[in-house]
Structure 1
Amino acid sequence: MTEDHAALVRGEAIPKQYVQTFLSTSAPRGAGNCATSHDAAAHARRHRQQRRWATQVVITDELARRTCAERGLPPPDDVLPMHLLTIPETDVADLGSIVAAALAHSPAARALLAALEREQHIPETAVRDYYDRNPDRFLTPEALRRGVDPFNTVEPSDIHPYAHVHDGIAQQLRHAAARRAFFDWLDRARADVVYAEGHEHPGDPSHPDHEHRH
């Protein structure tokens, strides 16, 4: 690998310029937990972590493009540099900053996630079990106003009927299953990626300032 490459994906070089372009158009959130400091060493550490974080986002986009092509999914319209988009804080909390940023910036990653979601089968028993275990999520507005405790005895009229919320529950469970499938895919897909020095995963314990983040 030459000094112009950030990584090799199945033997193909990913230029460092892709990472620099992404960093120049994006404000990484959660790209490192370094405390604010004017110290040069702390600044250098933050820069390294941001570069490693951005490399992971770019690599995820590249891997998703390849997987979309292998699956026969329509090719995304966008090409690098990826557009600057706002990353919802809830996504960062639920997915980790790398995957959240990849899904926000990469049409290929979103297309793959959508395909994975279409493939998820949620058994009826799982939908019913979710409804039965989470009555607090299905209180009617009137029950909420009265402060009904859903985990004690409640009137049937205090809870939205199962038939009315069934489809929403199934969709929520399908969405969660697709995200898990996306994580599984990404772990497998990037297992053989070879990184240039300074572009390793920010959570890689082989470098001394690693961050255990995804």
Structure 2
Amino acid sequence: MTGHAALVNGEAVAKGRVDALLEAVPARDRETRPEALARAERQRRRWATQVVVTDELARRACADRGLKPPAEVSPTQVLAVAETDVADLGSIVAAALAHSPAARVLLDHLEREQNVPEAAARDYYERNRDRFLTPDALRRGTDPFGEAAEADFLPYEDVRARIVGELGRAAGRRAFFDWLDRARAGVVYAHGYEHPGDPSHPDHEHRH
């Protein structure tokens, strides 16, 4: 199939890239009625377009930042997407990170750019004490918000690095979403390849 699925700042993203991803990712829908199956396939094509466009945007962002992604994987080697990533990131971004080496490199770069203030790490520790019970306190079923003593908690110094890492990853993900929202502003989709949640087409659905 010739033609483009989208234009990114005026440059074509070939329909063939979307088709290759669709072939690599089996359909999850089990519709049997012709009209329902057709709708499911339209939405699947729109979903795949978002994944491919995110890859294209990430490639350009990496080039702009002087980042070098690892060798491309072929669409047939698309990585498995963890359900927890789908829950945390949405299906489009989770699949894009699995599919796109450039997106993974960009996310890692954004995470490393984050500076977690000491006050934020300490505040997280104080507000989430239930996450820092000692193994012994956990075995005893200690209530972190009730009868727990200070000795029932891991010292802040022992868990600080883990907290900073978690907060940095969360901030990096937010930065990735912010970047993607801005980058998508320069994308124009061909008919039939719009975002699956775009209300301008009649069978849109909110699917990230």
Tell me if TM exceeds 0.5. Answer: yes
**Other structure's SS at 1:150 match:** coil
| Corresponding residue SS for 2:198 | coil
Worse-superposed segment, 90-99 or 155-164? 155-164
CA distance in structure 1 between the aligned counterparts of 2:76 and 2:197, rounded to whole angstroms: 23
- Which amino acid is the alignment partner of residue 199 of structure 1? Y
Determine which structure has the larger helix proportion and give its number: 2
* Contact 2:4–2:12 (8 Å) recurs in 1: yes
CA distance in 1, matches of 2:63, 2:86: 27
Aligned to 2:18: 19
What are the equivalent positions in structure 2 for 1:189-204 lying under 5 Å apart? 189-204=183-198
- 3-state SS of the aligned residue for 1:190? helix
Contact kept in structure 1, 2:2 and 2:16, CA below 8 Å: no
After the TM superposition, which segments of 4 or more aligned residues of structure 1 sit over 4 Å from their partners? none
Q: Is there any run of 5+ residues in structure 2 with no aligned partner, and where? A: none
CA–CA distance in structure 2, aligned partners of residues 83 and 17 of structure 1: 16
1:101 aligns with 2:100: no
2:105 alignment counterpart: 111
**RMSD over equivalenced CA pairs, Å:** 1.6
Identity of aligned residues (%): 65
Q: CA deviation at 1:4?
A: 1.2
Matched residue, 1:63: 57
Amino acid at match of 1:106: S
Aligned pairs for 1:64-213 (under 5 A) are 64-78=58-72, 81=75, 83-213=77-207
Task: Report deviation, 1:187.
Answer: 0.4
The CA distance in 2 between the partners of 1:156 and 1:75, in whole Å, is 46
Match for residue 3 of structure 2? 4
Amino acid at match of 1:17: G
Mapped partners of 1:127, 1:153: distance in 2? 24
Q: CA shift at 1:162, angstroms?
A: 0.4
Residue 80 to residue 195, structure 1, CA distance change in 2 (3 Å)? farther
Shift of 1:26: 1.7
1:53 equivalent in alignment to 2:47: yes
1:76 touches 1:107 (CA, 8 Å); kept in 2? yes
Query: Once the two structures are superposed, what CA deviation does each residue of 1:122-169 show, in whole Å capped at 9, x if it has no partner?
Result: 100100010000011011111111111001131122111100000000
Query: Is the CA contact 1:64–1:112 (under 8 Å) kept in the aligned structure 2?
Result: yes
Unaligned runs of at least 5 residues, structure 1: none
Shift of 1:185: 0.3
Residues in 1 aligned to 2:76 and 2:64: alpha-carbon distance in whole angstroms: 21
Cα distance in structure 2, aligned partners of 1:66 and 1:27: 28
Matched residues, number: 208
What TM-score do you get using the length of structure 1 for normalisation?
A: 0.93
- Output the TM-score relative to the length of structure 2: 0.95
Deviations 1:90-137 (A, max 9, x none): 000000000000011100000000110111011001000100000110
CA distance in 2, matches of 1:196, 1:89: 30
Rounded Cα–Cα distance in structure 1 between residues aligned with 2:51 and 2:76: 10
